[in-house]
């Protein structure tokens, strides 16, 4: 895997610019990238997305293979390092606890073990912001991080209308 997608990339695509009813080509493209071994996400992201009650929840349920295991030993070790780093950081307790309760540390840990890039809509914040954000933690753990649009450009994605 070269890229691991955060939950917000699926959710925002569905809710906004790549709605399943207006741009099915985007979702087909994700399937193709998965089949070619280029993208995936982690099981914890799949669990979060399956909690919905909409077409994305169905899409995710129909693609269990898209969401790879994050319970292997190397990922567990890095996850523990991320937890320790966040607990030791000067973060707002609510932001810290929310970050640690979700899939974010898992996707970063899995990306580190695979040498993959995390794709997220979160933006980095200044170190003194006291908020825990995926791009900041990726930077701290030397994991590449892109937003969806950088990711699409990097892969030369094209969604073109036919004749």
Write down the pTM of the prediction. 0.94
Q: Quick count: other Cβ atoms within 10 Å of Cβ 113?
A: 18
Q: What is the mean pLDDT of residues 6-24?
A: 95
pLDDT digit string (tens) for 23-72? Answer: 999 999 999 999 999 999 999 999 999 998 899 999 999 999 999 999 99
Q: Which fold has domain 3-154?
A: Rossmann fold (3.40.50)
pLDDT of residue 163: 56
Segments making up each domain of the chain, as ranges: 3-154
pLDDT digit string (tens) for 65-119? Answer: 999 999 999 999 999 999 999 999 999 999 999 999 999 999 999 999 999 999 9
pLDDT of residue 1: 78
């Amino acid at each position: 895997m070269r890229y691991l997608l955060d939950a917000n990339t699926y959710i925002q695509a569905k809710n906004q610019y790549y709605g399943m009813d207006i741009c099915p080509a985007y979702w087909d493209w994700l399937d193709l990238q998965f089949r070619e071994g280029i993208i995936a996400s982690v099981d914890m992201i799949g669990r979060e997305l399956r909690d919905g009650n909409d077409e994305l929840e169905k899409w995710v349920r129909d693609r269990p293979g898209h969401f790879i295991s994050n319970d292997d030993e190397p990922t567990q070790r890095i996850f523990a390092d991320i937890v320790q780093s966040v607990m030791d950081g000067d973060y707002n307790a609510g932001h810290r606890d929310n970050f640690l309760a979700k899939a974010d540390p898992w996707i970063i840990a899995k990306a580190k073990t695979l040498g993959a890039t995390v794709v997220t809509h979160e933006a980095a914040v200044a170190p003194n912001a006291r908020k825990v954000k995926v791009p900041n933690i990726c930077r701290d753990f030397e994991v590449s991080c892109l937003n969806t649009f950088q990711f699409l450009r990097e892969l030369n994605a094209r969604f073109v209308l036919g004749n």
